[in-house]
Every structure is written in structure tokens, then in C-alpha cells.
Homo-oligomer: A and B are copies of this chain.
């Protein structure tokens, strides 16, 4: 089986603090794990849970990449913030793709830069 990884796509246009980014990224990662096939998650867990945070510059861009991933049957998460603190209620802050085969995920997000 191919190497597995997860990518976390985080909007850089919202000016979120480091702490906000950390919590939202964790939220996206865990939610995508819940949305994934359990056997795939177990294998990914045993192999070290490779994950990387990537930079997204708008809501539209984030939705585009998540939709591409869904079209490839990759598991995803979309995180909307309750907006108690730094952003407006209902703001889409980030999302995650996978865990899934590295090659498939790279077809979707291979051009994105690390956050």
C-alpha cells in the first residue's frame, strides 16, 4: 500500500493568531480522521501520522481543493468557526484531506505551499 498522509489546508487571509491556527488545524485533522475509513486511519497511525499544513488564500480556493479531493473519494473535513473570538461566526477557516495515499493527495494539493 502506498504511503499515507493528511494535508491540512489553512486560510492565511483571515489573520488568525498562532493559537487560533493551532486549534482550528487540530479540529480539521481530527474531523477528517472521523470521516475516514478506520483501516486506513489505523495504518496511517502506525506509520507515524504524516501530516503537513498548507497555505490557502481564500474561502473559494479552500472549497475548490476540498471539492477536488471529494471527487477523488478522499475523505475531507470543513471547519467553520463559531466566531467567539477572532473571526465572524460561520467563517470557513480550514479543512483537511485524508489520511489518504500520498500520490492521490499530491494530485489535488501538490502545488500548494506550506503554511
Query: Interface residues, chain A, CB within 8 Å of chain B?
Result: 6, 8, 10, 17-23, 25-31, 33-34, 45, 48-49, 51-55, 82, 96, 114-115
Chain B residues closer than 8 Å to A52, beta-carbon distance: 19, 23
Contact of A26 among B26, B34, B114 (CB under 8 A): B26
How far does the Cβ of A84 sit from chain B's closest Cβ, in whole Å?
A: 11
Tell which of B20, B22, B49 touches A31, judged by Cβ atoms closer than 8 Å. Answer: B49
User: Across the interface, do A33 and B31 meet the contact criterion of CB distance under 8 Å?
Assistant: no
Copy total for this chain: 2
Q: Which residue of B lies closest to A12 (CB)?
A: B18
Are the CB atoms of A55 and B23 closer together than 8 Å? no
Given A31-B49, A45-B34, A49-B31: A23 and B25 within 8 A (CB)? yes
Whether A22 contacts B22 in the complex (CB less than 8 A), given A30-B33, A49-B31, A51-B27, comes out as yes
Known: A8-B23, A17-B115, A25-B26. 10 other contacts (CB 8 A): A6-B26, A8-B22, A18-B21, A19-B53, A23-B52, A23-B53, A25-B25, A26-B51, A29-B30, A31-B49
